[in-house]
Amino acid sequence: MGDKKNIMNNTELTKDEIELYDRQIRLWGISAQQRMRSSKVLLFNLGGLGTEITKNLVLSGIGHLTIVDDHDIVDEDLDTQFFLSLEDLAIGGKRVDKAKHRIQDMNPRVKIDVKYNLLENLEKELSQYDLVILTEVNDKLDIIQINEITHSLNIPLYVCGCHGLYGYIFVDLIKFDSKDEKLKNGNFSTKLGKLSNNREVIEVTDKIDDLDPTKIFEKIVTRNYYKTFQQVLQTARVSDISFTKKQMKRLTPAAPVIFASLFDDRSQKDFLSMANICKIIKKLNLPQEYTVSKEFLDNFKNNQLNLEFSPVCAVIGGAVAQDVINILGKRESPLNNFIIFDGTTLEMPIFEF
């Protein structure tokens, strides 16, 4: 990620940009803002999730956002879209065309492009960007195809989806070094080595505070390793994650159901059958006492599946956008690598598969 061409070609921020982004520059520094201003992001689809992600990225000051979406405006868009109006619905047309000028109005300094689809040479198209985000992509083969390309090109990928009160995020940053700083606790020093299967501390240095020499800070570099989407589908095991008993008790019943929607061919009628969910529970190696009720499953199939609910879109879209801003700018510890949100309990555990 650090050697991507656009991020490294940092140009100086103008005086107006420094004033506009003053609050966030104070938070993560001018060099981070410059990296964000130099970045090119590709976003698939401008539904509820895409709208939330777009808003946050454009207001943060990324340099270039391209949105790919071929959907016509429909009634449902007005439930989750604040870039579209009743007048737009009455006139009709592509939702990206109607939304573009309103997106641009939020921050005229960001270059906004819209496309209905990508060219046949997908690898050539994707290679132009520093980061790719997929929303409303429900075919696992499409996700796998795009992820194979982004992974080979060392381009970070985020995949996210909403199912009513539930949602998920998948992250593949390939390999990413995060940098954190914390006050040293007495004589205790952070040790080098593995923190988990996907993370290891590779560098620790001490820094004496300029104003108070009695304070010593540790600058810690943690290397994060990521699996592809296909690897996660093939190898995901909840038992490999260090959840406490309390965390396991709170584990949402949506977990195996969401995985079933990603694992299996949705054209098959039984992909959300109870028999198939039991197979997924076994595949994920969940505890024997873990169950999904028929009532929950029927509700998910009939009322939640593929439904975008604005408050959940705001949570998922906000989490994705924040992590994107983080890796483009601040370089603190990123998400690694699968997150499920349960809007009924407000739990959002990170599954490090």
249 touches 334 (CB < 8 A):
no
235 touches 337 (CB < 8 A):
no
Nearest 5 degrees, angle CA 28-CA 29-CA 30? 140
Number of H helices, E strands in the chain: 16, 12
Torsion of CA 150, 154, 155, 156, to 10 degrees: 100
Name which of 106-115, 126-135, 271-280 the model is least confident about: 271-280
Nearest alpha-carbon partner for 159 in 7, 300, 334, 337: 337
pTM, to two decimals: 0.88
Q: Which CATH class is domain 5-173+308-351?
A: alpha beta
Q: What is the percent of the chain with per-residue pLDDT over 70, rounded to a whole number?
A: 91
Domain range summary for the chain, segments of one domain joined by +: 5-173+308-351, 175-225, 229-304
**Which are the contacts of 189, defined by CB distance < 8 A and separation ≥ 6?**
204, 218
- Which residue stretches of the chain are H helix? 5-8, 15-20, 22-28, 30-37, 48-60, 77-80, 86-91, 95-106, 122-126, 140-152, 229-235, 245-249, 254-263, 274-283, 294-299, 310-325
Answer positive or negative: Cα dihedral of 291, 296, 302, 304. Answer: negative
Confidence category of residue 189, pLDDT binned at 50, 70, 90: confident
Please give the pLDDT value at position 350: 87
Helix H or strand E segment including 333: none
d(CA 134, CA 153): 17
Amino acid type, 260: A
pLDDT winner (highest mean) among 109-113, 156-160, 292-296: 156-160
Helix H or strand E segment including 192: none
Query: How is the beta sheet containing 193-194 ordered, strand by strand?
Result: 175-183, 216-225, 199-208, 193-194
d(CA 205, CA 65): 37
At 216-235, the pLDDT tens digits run 888 999 999 999 999 998 88
Confidence category of residue 187, pLDDT binned at 50, 70, 90: confident
Beta strand 166-172 with 175-183 is unpaired
Tokens of 352: 């490090």
d(CA 250, CA 111): 43
Residue that is written with structure tokens 């496309």 in the block: 115
Name which of 14-23, 41-50, 96-105, 187-196 the model is least confident about: 14-23
